[in-house]
Amino acid sequence: MINAVIFDFDGLIFDTESHEYNVLNEIFQEHGSELPLPVWGKVIGTQAGFKPLLYLEEQLGEKLDQDMLEKLLNERFQERLKNEGPLPGVVEYLKAAKESGLKIGLASSSTYEWVSSHLKNLCLFDYFECIRTSDDVEEVKPNPSLYLKAASCLGVEPEECLVFEDSANGALAAKRAGMYCVIVPNEVTKDLNFCEVDDRIDSMAVIELKQLIAKIENRT
C-alpha cells in the first residue's frame, strides 16, 4: 500500500532543466557549435562532473573566457526562471496527497539551498515533511541513498513509497531503492532511455493522484 509520495525537484516540480539546456545551447550556437541533447541528457538528475562550457571549449579547440561564459549563463538562466511557476498539476498533486493523509517528501541531487529557496518562492515549501538533497548523501542519484534517506525520514518503508521523477538517473535511483516510480518527462528528458518504471505520464495534469495510485496498487 502506498503511504508516501516523494518528489524530485528540478524538471519535475520546477522546470529548471529545459531552461538550463536552452540557455546553454544558445551559448553554444553563438560560438558556432551545439550541445547535443544525448550528451546533456546523461548528466540530468545527477552530478557527473560534466562541465558544458569546458565541453564547448573542447569542441571548438580554442581557449574561452570561462568566467565570462559562466556569468552569461547564470544571468540568462536566472532571467528565464524569474517568472516560472510550478509545472502543471504539481500543486494539485501536493494538495491531493495532503488531503489523503499521505506523507510527502522530496529527494533531489541539487543542494538544499537551491531546492528550499525555489520551493519558498513557489509557496510550496510547507507541503514537504522531509527534504533530502545532495547535502545529505555521499552519492546522489542514480545511487538510491537519497530516496532511502527520504523514506526513513518520513517513517515509512521503501515499498510504501511512490516516487515522481523526470530523469533516467532519478528513476533508476527510485527503483534501486525498491520504490514505485512514475516518470513525468519534460522536453529535455522525454527521449532518454528509462529503466522499467510503474507508469509514465505526460503531465501531472492528465490524471488525478488518487486515480494514479489506484492504478498502480491494482497491478500489485
Clarify whether residues 100 and 167 are in a common domain. yes
Provide mean pLDDT across the span 44-70.
Answer: 85
Q: Annotated catalytic, 8?
A: yes
d(CA 118, CA 85): 10
Looking at residue 103, the DSSP 8-state letter turns out to be E
pLDDT of residue 218: 92
Choice among 79-83, 92-96, 106-110, 200-204 with the minimum mean pLDDT: 79-83
Q: Is the pLDDT of residue 17 over 90?
A: no
Confidence of residue 45 (pLDDT cuts 50, 70, 90): low
d(CA 147, CA 175): 9
Q: Which of 8, 15, 166, 198 is catalytic?
A: 8
Choice among 69-73, 175-179, 210-214 with the minimum mean pLDDT: 69-73
Q: Is the pLDDT of residue 175 over 90?
A: yes
pLDDT of residue 149: 98
The distance between the two most distant Cα atoms of the chain, rounded to a whole number of Å, is 57
Looking up cell 546553454 gives: 24
Q: Is the pLDDT of residue 19 over 70?
A: yes
Clarify whether residues 91 and 65 are in a common domain. no
- Grid coordinates representing 171 are 528513476
CB distance 11 to 167 below 8 Å = yes
State the total domains in the chain.
2
Clarify whether residues 59 and 124 are in a common domain. no
Clarify whether residues 110 and 162 are in a common domain. yes
Clarify whether residues 131 and 143 are in a common domain. yes
Domain coverage including residue 25 = 16-81
pTM: 0.86
CB distance 140 to 146 below 8 Å = yes
Looking at residue 14, the DSSP 8-state letter turns out to be B
Q: What is the CATH number of the domain that holds 143?
A: 3.40.50.1000
CB distance 218 to 180 below 8 Å = no
Q: Is the pLDDT of residue 44 over 80?
A: no
Q: Which of 10, 15, 166, 198 is catalytic?
A: 10
- Grid coordinates representing 70 are 559562466
Provide mean pLDDT across the span 124-153.
Answer: 97
Q: How many helices (H) and strands (E) would you count in the chain?
A: 9, 6
Clarify whether residues 27 and 40 are in a common domain. yes
